[in-house]
Amino acid sequence: MKGFLFFFCIITCRVFAQNLSISSPDNKITISVNTTGLLQYTVHKNGAQIIYPSSLGFEFKGEPAMGADMVLQDTIIRVINDTWIPVVKSKHAVINNNYRELEIRLKEKGGLMRRMDLFFRAYNDGIAFRYQLYSSKKIGNKEITKEVTGFRFTSGAKAWIAEYGGYSSSQEAPFNSRSLDSVNEHTIAGLPMLIELNKNSYAAITEANIDNYPGFYLGASQSLSLTTKLAPLPGEQEDGVKARFSDKQFTPWRVVMLADKPGDLITSEIIQNLNEPCAIEDPSWIKPGMSAWDHWWSGEVKMDIPTIKKYIDLASQMGWPYMLIDWQWYGTFNKPEADITKAAPQLNMPEILEYAKSKNVRCWVWLYSTDVNLNNNFEAAFGEYEKWGIAGIKIDFMDRDDQDMVNWYHQIIKAAAAHHLMVDFHGAYKPDGIIRTYPNMITREGVMGEEYSKFSDKVTPRHNVTLPFTRMLAGQMDYTPGGFLNVSKKDFKQQSPTLVMNTRCAELSKFVIYESPFTVFCEHPDHVVGQPGADFLRLVPTVWDDIKVLDGYPGEYIALAKRSGKDWFIGAMTNESKRQLSLQLDFLAAGNYEIEIWEDAGEQPQHLNKIKKTIKAGDKIKINMAEGGGYVAKIRAL
């Protein structure tokens, strides 16, 4: 769907100054670029320095480094203010894209006479920049061994850091708070990285629009400046080749989100704005919604027709549009003999799909990535799935984001779109806003989600209230919420069926707080139907027209409100501490409203109180949350 252009301005000028700058539309954020000697940039907000002089450039295999002794050719300034309507509404029904851009064209003084363009964008909620590289007189592939982009903040800043320990991972790790100074040359930290410069200044580093280029991580140089670490190509060492290109090459956008309060980062649309408009001519078939899952959460894999029908029944009874048939539905997997076009012998797929159709439910199917890729199996399989009426595919265990894997993601997403299939990647790298361009890429994992409760004690209340300020800043996350066997942290143990160490209301709040237009519900039907809080799951949508963060701090608590049509939903969650919050309902239009509340009831994690009352716009409401507790409410106009 195309946006509506409100204002567009380009100024082209030949310049001789070596220090250039661009400011955000509200003039609060300024990016300055020094092209004399070593290329560097700095960022100020409200007159205070946020990013100190930080490096720009590249190192190549068989060529000199690039980023010094460049001659400024010319610059272009663009001023953009437009709006666009997303196909899939993660946070807003209409998105404003308002920025000023400085394009800097450079060329080396001598040697290979290579060209490089820099693009800097200043938004009201952050900055972004990327490079464009070119071929040179040396014929053949250019090979990048290092991107020297740096991010130098003041020493002593606090950060929330996910350490992956390597470049091949499912990007499922906790974001732990510690001093930014603890990052060193051995660190391989995932993104987004949240940084608290002080109690009134926050930054989050991530990237957008990754295409034909590896994902990036953060470490530190000896000067304590954060430095870019790119995922190596398969077979290459950490100091080896990261990317190859023979013609013009854009890098992804390096993004620094900026806010006075950490909650304000959650409402930003900068990641999607840095991607291209929708490339699917008619995306009307893309339908967000809730999905039942399968038996793995509450036991081991039980891949038979009666069990699958039980979960289809759950979806139908709850009014959800989907049921996800997960691993082993096609039998042997991750082996040369795997066949992703045929169901396992004990399953009659036409019978299952016909049963689902009779219940007004559509099915998704799980795939192991190697089975998808073997002999390009997906080319035939996706066509078959379209004939079957499959709604989407969940592809698992990629566990990489090198250049080859990034390009494979794009290949799969486009092929899926051609056959009207939505996509959910697991064992995946973080999102980068591609949902704008290919909205069938509707969600992905790349998060330490609820499944870890099955085999670890890592999914703590503190972890749950850290995610909205860290991983979720990058976009959609398939956390798979819904555990209804709620216990306190002290009573938690690993068992089957799976327990979760937060209250029922905290579990319900995840459906409001966490962003995932395709939301996969993890629990067994017998633990849900007729249980306290199940009624809320019939009401809560998975896409939203507006969002307001009411209060919160990473690792401590969060409270936000989201609007769907005329109705508002509130979700709040706390860590291991009891908490009382006072929330101002100033986001409501003038008038009277009915508020329906689900709140913690005493010390029993599975218990809740349900209340209805009348309120008016601007009222304050007090909410009380138990240890590991939460709160949800639906507000409708009277």
Segment 435-456 mean pLDDT: 98
Q: Within a domain: residue 406? A: no
CATH number of the CATH domain containing 189? 2.70.98.10
What band does 471 get if pLDDT is binned at 50, 70 and 90?
A: very high
pLDDT at 558 over 90: yes
pLDDT at 76 over 60: yes
| pLDDT tens figures, 136-160 | 777 778 999 999 999 999 988 999 9
pLDDT at 3 over 50: no
The number of beta carbons lying within 10 Å of the beta carbon of residue 435 is: 26
The pLDDT value given to residue 223: 66
| pLDDT tens figures, 268-323 | 999 999 999 999 999 999 999 999 998 999 988 999 999 999 999 999 999 999 99
Q: Which residues pair with 71 in a beta bridge?
A: 107
Cβ–Cβ < 8 Å for 432, 239 = no
Residues spanned by the domain of 150: 4-273
What band does 110 get if pLDDT is binned at 50, 70 and 90?
A: confident
Q: Within a domain: residue 219? A: yes
The pLDDT value given to residue 196: 98
SS3 296: helix
pLDDT at 584 over 50: yes
Percent helix, strand and coil across the chain, each to the nearest 5: 15, 40, 45
Q: Within a domain: residue 562? A: no
Cβ–Cβ < 8 Å for 176, 463 = no
Q: Within a domain: residue 338? A: no
The pLDDT value given to residue 149: 97
Q: Within a domain: residue 73? A: yes
pLDDT at 603 over 90: no
- From residue 556, give the alpha-carbon distance in Å to each of 262, 464, 477, 552, 562: 12, 9, 20, 7, 20
pLDDT at 1 over 50: no
The pLDDT value given to residue 14: 46
| pLDDT tens figures, 323-379 | 999 999 999 999 999 999 999 999 999 999 999 999 999 999 999 999 999 988 999
Segment 439-458 mean pLDDT: 97
The pLDDT value given to residue 396: 98
Residue-wise over 64-78: b if at least 16 C-beta within 10 A, else e?
A: eebbbebebeebeeb
Cα gap 86→620, rounded to integer Å: 32
Segment 396-415 mean pLDDT: 98
The pLDDT value given to residue 140: 77
pLDDT at 4 over 60: no
The number of beta carbons lying within 10 Å of the beta carbon of residue 287 is: 16
| pLDDT tens figures, 522-556 | 999 999 999 999 999 999 999 999 999 999 999 99
pTM above 0.85, yes or no: yes
Cα gap 480→497, rounded to integer Å: 15
SS3 108: strand
- Mean pLDDT value across the chain: 95
Residue 354's H or E segment, with its range, is helix 349-358
| pLDDT tens figures, 191-224 | 999 999 999 999 999 999 999 999 999 999 876 6
Number of domains making up the chain: 1
The number of beta carbons lying within 10 Å of the beta carbon of residue 317 is: 15
| pLDDT tens figures, 8-46 | 555 544 444 567 999 999 999 999 999 988 999 999 999
Q: Within a domain: residue 241? A: yes
Q: Within a domain: residue 70? A: yes
Q: For 364, phi and psi rounded to 5 degrees?
A: -105, 155
Q: Express as a percent the part of the chain with pLDDT over 70.
A: 97
pLDDT higher at 178 or 138: 178
